[in-house]
Amino acid sequence: MPASPLERLRHIRDEAVYLARRTKDLRGDDFLTNEHLKRAFVRSLEIIGEATKQIPSDFRQGNPELPWRLMTGMRDRLIHDSGGVDYEIVWQTATEDIPGVLEKVKRILETAE
């Protein structure tokens, strides 16, 4: 049985929480030199994008406050771009975009649960 949209949102929330916690006291330069963190951040963004792809379009259309297309686009870029990962973009996404995504996902979950 496929996961419900709320289960997928919980996956997104959990990965966003991880990213928010890890970036809290981390400098960009430290991130860019830490291979373990770089790979972990990429994996979290892939999970967020994949969970987003599994959410039905009617649910996404009913919750337009989230950047659904950008979230799936990041996943596609990370998985399919053979040119390598731009870790500065990964850092920027984790520090600038994910906090807002996290707050919006939390609001949707609070309303639905």
Q: Count the domains in the chain.
A: 1
Catalytically active residues are 75, 80
pLDDT at 1: 63
pLDDT tier at 2 (50, 70, 90 boundaries)? confident
Domain, as residue range, for 37: 5-112
CATH number, domain containing residue 19:
1.20.120
- pTM of the predicted protein model: 0.92
Six token digits for residue 48: 């967020």
Six token digits for residue 82: 């053979």
Six token digits for residue 26: 């981390």
Name the nearest CA neighbour of 113 among 10, 1, 33: 10
* Beta-carbon contacts of residue 53 (< 8 Å; ≥ 6 apart): 72, 75
Q: What is the pLDDT of residues 65-99, one digit of tens each?
A: 999 999 998 988 888 877 789 999 999 999 999 99
